[in-house]
Copies of this chain bind each other. A is one copy, B any other.
Amino acid sequence: MYRTHTCGELRQSDVGKKVTLAGWVQTTREFGPITFLDLRDRYGITQLNFGGAINARLKDEHLGREFVLQAQGTVIERSNKNPGLSTGEIEISIEDFKVLNKSAVPPFTIQDDTDGGDDLRMKYRYLDLRRNAVRKNLELRYAVGRAARNYLHGQGFMDIETPFLIKSTPEGARDFVVPSRMNPGEFYALPQSPQTFKQLLMVSGYDRYYQIVKCFRDEDLRADRQPEFTQIDCEMAFVEQEDILHMFEGMIKHIFREVKGIEITEKVERTTFDQAMWHYGNDKPDIRFALPIANLKTPASVYPIQRAKALKDDTSGILNAFQTGTGFPVFDDAETVVAIAAPGLSEYTRKQLDELTEWVKRPQIGMKGLAYIKCNADGTYKSSFDKFFPETELKKLAEYAGAKPGDLVLVLAGPEERTRKAMSELRLEVGNRQGLRKKDEFKLLWVLDFPLFEYSEEDNRWVARHHPFTAPKPEQISVMIDNDPTIPDPTAYLQHPYASVKANAYDMVLNGNEIGGGSIRIFQRELQEKMFAALGMSPEEALHKFGFLLGAFEYGAPPHGGIAFGFDRLCSIMGGSESIRDFIAFPKNNSGRDVMIDAPGTIDLKQLDELQIATKAPVK
């Protein structure tokens, strides 16, 4: 061993000990005949004191930053202690040393606030990983993984590895494929998730399975997606939805307790997909702050239950006014009118309001404008649509939106889907501006009762919202079995019985991010076949792609369900970061490249020939 102690270990009580340390040169400071050298490793920094002849020797070596040094000496008490450093009470009076390796001048400095831009840091990722900030992220990641494993072990789960070289079943995202040399013309696919394998394990009787496992999706990478990512993948047999919610609520609480020392005592809040959309315009609402949407006008076809209740409950008559006509064409012509009451923003200036209007008009949001009501502190109201709404009506509207004096009511009007989405974004933006989204506050939420299907206009068929293995609510199984999934009239797809089937599916949301999602699965062959048919697969196609699963369902498949957590995402949110990249040791960039190792790359013609494939890409 090149060292007796790490650079984060020695204390006052070690004074007098002969020690050997090894690490990287962080800084050197010369004070006449003495040189102080801060030696760094992943455990901390220890000050080395070079005096006399040894200092002369040190100077001869011309040590720079990041040189690797081994040094021996005696622990002594420091004259001026550094309380900011865990080793700050001592230093090492150096008696001998050896340069283990030199270092060129790093392209950026290894410190918390580095001068390296993103591109440089990615190219020299091995240096970036030396920085405290990145190291803490990876340590957090390790701690989260370990806490998850320990919890699941305690609950009787078994880690079982599933294969990486599987079969391509293009359903959902695009597969990465791997040409098979031993089976020319054939390809493996890398798994998008171990979904079917974990279901087979349930059929096999391994009633509590988990795996922390890499998954692969060949998608066009959005800002914060990676072609390879990691899931905490779990499945249980002989369970109902409630059992799974309970089990994994427990897991997340355990992780927070072990990793961050945060005790979440209350039960995780729950909402349904419809309620989440109605109140927040979003199926993964950030509930660290309230600011619910006031639904002033909505089409009768969407969220009919919520709409009917709102109309029934409203005593102010304001909703009724929006249905029958307000006299303001922007509202009257719109399919949907929604509002939120931004707390304490009534003093917003003209300029600020203009700027917020521009914000909602950006193509990403896509609204035509923003209406507002200032609820002044003196109880008066001032609005961008004063002309069409008398102050009494403004007051009613503001009160319906939950505004108090001092608040600013923001109103959006337009087509249902876009307007609701825009209002969700605006709500988050107000949350950001008002500091309501605190990094160190963690709010969990279960979102339940997702629709089982989405409608594909392009193919006039159903698409699985979660995946094709998700079970409908038990009481709706017969709706699927008893009805033909084909859609005779595309314009009336909402009237098809399948449109209203809800899934036994659930998402866990943390601070507005989906960190986990899962479902109770179909375990009956007949129902699974009906599902494949609904997704437009012929019986032959279903058999070709998923024959093994349909077959397995013939031999005593138990009821089962599961969940998968996005490990990268969970870590990044727990670490208070927006970016998952900061929590992956060797991430890829937005073109799917690893710029450090320069991958992907060309391969030898010999390799291509062995695989019996040819590339049709233009030669570079």
Contact = CB atoms under 8 A, between A and B. Distances in A.
A181 interface: yes
Interface residues of A, number: 124
Interface string A389-417: 00000000000000000000000000000
A21 B481 CA distance: 29
A33 interface: no
A197 to B, nearest CB: 6
Given A135-B205, A205-B41, A167 B615 contact: no
Nearest to A185: B617
Interface stretch (A298-306, A486-494, A592-600): A592-600
A197 B206 CA distance: 34
Nearest to A159: B142
Contacts of A228: 163-165
Interface string A547-587: 11001111111110000000000000000000000001110
Contacts of A230: 161
Contact of A178 (B178, B553, B555): B178
Contacts of A448: none
Contact of A206 (B42, B196, B218, B604): B42
Interface stretch (A126-134, A270-278, A357-365): A126-134
A115 interface: no
A591 interface: yes
B600 A186 contact: yes
Interface in A404-435: none
Interface string A511-523: 0000000000001
Contact of A594 (B166, B176, B597): B166
Contact of A164 (B101, B138, B216, B555): B216
B611 A177 contact: yes
A102 B556 CA distance: 5
Most B CB atoms within 10 A — which of A22, A125, A158? A158
Interface string A97-139: 0001111101000000000000000001111011000010011
B185 A618 contact: yes
Contact of A174 (B104, B145, B610): B610
A585 B524 contact: no
Nearest to A106: B555
A18 to B, nearest CB: 18
B177 A177 contact: no
Contacts of A616: 184, 612-614
Contact of A600 (B146, B183, B559): B183
B138 A619 contact: no
A223 to B, nearest CB: 15
B158 A138 contact: yes
A538 to B, nearest CB: 15
B165 A599 contact: yes
Tallying the copies of this chain within the complex gives 2
Interface stretch (A86-94, A238-246, A460-468): A238-246
A585 B201 contact: yes
Contacts of A553: 101
Contacts of A59: none
Interface in A431-472: none
Contacts of A126: 200-201, 203-204, 548, 552, 555
Contacts of A307: none
A375 interface: no
A205 B214 CA distance: 24
A24 interface: yes
24 contacts: A1-B239, A2-B240, A2-B559, A22-B558, A40-B205, A101-B558, A104-B554, A125-B200, A126-B548, A127-B555, A135-B205, A161-B584, A165-B592, A167-B600, A177-B179, A177-B603, A178-B190, A182-B218, A185-B617, A185-B620, A186-B600, A548-B596, A548-B597, A613-B613
What are the 6 A-B residue pairs with the smallest beta carbon separation, nearest first?
A: A185-B617, A184-B617, A129-B204, A103-B556, A167-B599, A186-B600
Given A124-B555, A175-B607, A180-B600, 14 more contacts: A1-B240, A1-B243, A42-B205, A68-B557, A101-B559, A102-B556, A142-B160, A160-B585, A161-B214, A163-B228, A165-B594, A167-B600, A184-B615, A613-B615
